[in-house]
Amino acid sequence: MAHKHSHNHIHLYDIHKKDKNLMVSILLNTFITAAQVVGGLISGSLSLLSDALHNFSDVLSLIVSYAASKLSKKQASENRTFGYKRAEILAAFVNASTLIIVAIILIKEAIERFKHPQVIESNLVIWLALLAIVFNGLSVLLLKKDSKHNINVKSAYVHLLTDMLASIAVLIGGLLMKYFQLFWVDSVLTFLIAFYLIWMGYYLLKTSTKMLMLFTPEHINIHALVENIDALPKVKKLHHVHIWNLSDYELHLEAHLDLYEDVTISEFDSILRNIETVLQEQYHINHVTIQPEYNKNDPKEIIVQD
């Protein structure tokens, strides 16, 4: 069984800078959370307290993301042959789950406040919302680049982005309460924040679950991939195919390869290099494990339940 892998694209961005950005974001959001809790209690604003709760979940999600990022760099060992490379996917799953849990709590509290509206100190709400927009905006900018490459950072980034949008909503609500005495807006905005969290949380939860369950990545059409490989010289049939993400950076394929000829090992190495080139260039698969076969009597379907 032949095996080949490449990590060339892992260094598209600075991993150490990613961890530093996560730590700065943790500090910024800890400060925002403390300020909003105090301000929410003084002003009586539920939307401000709900924003503080979301900010607190941001802090927790950032800590989880930071810890997972550190764990993912630990070396493999005899009893952990993959190391902790899937820690970041697990962190994304946890963070996505907290988005939905926080949203449910916010909906419950908004219903209670809608039934019993309260006068709110809008000036404090406005200033704290502005503070949150600035600090969350800085965190969003820090993590934006890394979120494009890493589902763990993406989950933390979504927490921060939705919280920045929530702070904008709180600011608008504060202005409406100050100049038009529309105190019911506080509850309505809380509802909107909560439903947006559910929408984003569901997307991340679905994506991370698919990766944890080793589903085939959505950008890969297995039938088209097999046709491309089968068209290579001396290749008869690629079958028993499994494709999965071990992490954001490692996309694996393992399969059986039925050959037309009883080739030598050196000839198979040449065939394998051609296969690796196609898989890397067209599908970004950088871990390839192939079991060569010739006249073997076994199922030749593309997907076989092992």
CATH number at residue 157: 1.20.1510.10
Give every CB contact of residue 202 below 8 A, 6+ residues apart in sequence: 96, 100
CATH number at residue 230: 3.30.70.1350
Note whether 255 and 172 are same-domain residues.
Answer: no
Q: How far apart are CA 37 and CA 102, in angstroms?
A: 16
Q: Which residues of the chain have pLDDT under 70?
A: 1-16, 45-48, 50-51, 54, 116-122, 183, 186, 306
Cβ atoms of residues 178 and 123 within 8 Å: yes
Buried b (16+ CB within 10 A) or exposed e, 262-273: eeeeeebeebbe
Q: How far apart are CA 143 and CA 25, in angstroms?
A: 8
Q: Is residue 4 part of a domain?
A: no
Cβ atoms of residues 286 and 6 within 8 Å: yes
Q: Is residue 300 part of a domain?
A: no
Note whether 149 and 228 are same-domain residues.
Answer: no
What is the amino acid identity at position 134?
V
Q: Is residue 1 part of a domain?
A: no
Q: Is residue 306 part of a domain?
A: no
Note whether 84 and 164 are same-domain residues.
Answer: yes
Among candidate residues 212, 236, 258, the one where a domain is terminated: 212
DSSP letter string, 127-169:
HHHHHHHHHHHHHHHHHHHHHTT-HHHHHHHHHHHHHHHHHHH
Among candidate residues 188, 212, 236, the one where a domain is terminated: 212
Which of 254, 235, 257 shows the shortest CA–CA distance to 243? 254
What is the amino acid identity at position 173?
G
- How many folded domains does the chain comprise? 2
Q: Is residue 206 part of a domain?
A: yes
Note whether 171 and 285 are same-domain residues.
Answer: no
pLDDT tens readout for residues 58-97: 788 888 888 888 888 888 888 888 888 889 899 889 888 8
Q: What is the pLDDT of residue 47?
A: 62
Q: What is the pLDDT of residue 11?
A: 46
pLDDT tens readout for residues 123-160: 777 888 888 888 888 888 888 888 887 888 888 888 78
Note whether 250 and 199 are same-domain residues.
Answer: no
Domain, as residue range, for 194: 11-212
Tracing tokens 């690629």 back to the chain, one arrives at: 238
Note whether 88 and 160 are same-domain residues.
Answer: yes
Note whether 251 and 138 are same-domain residues.
Answer: no
Among candidate residues 158, 193, 212, the one where a domain is terminated: 212
Note whether 65 and 135 are same-domain residues.
Answer: yes
Q: How far apart are CA 135 and CA 164, in angstroms?
A: 8
Note whether 154 and 228 are same-domain residues.
Answer: no
Note whether 208 and 258 are same-domain residues.
Answer: no
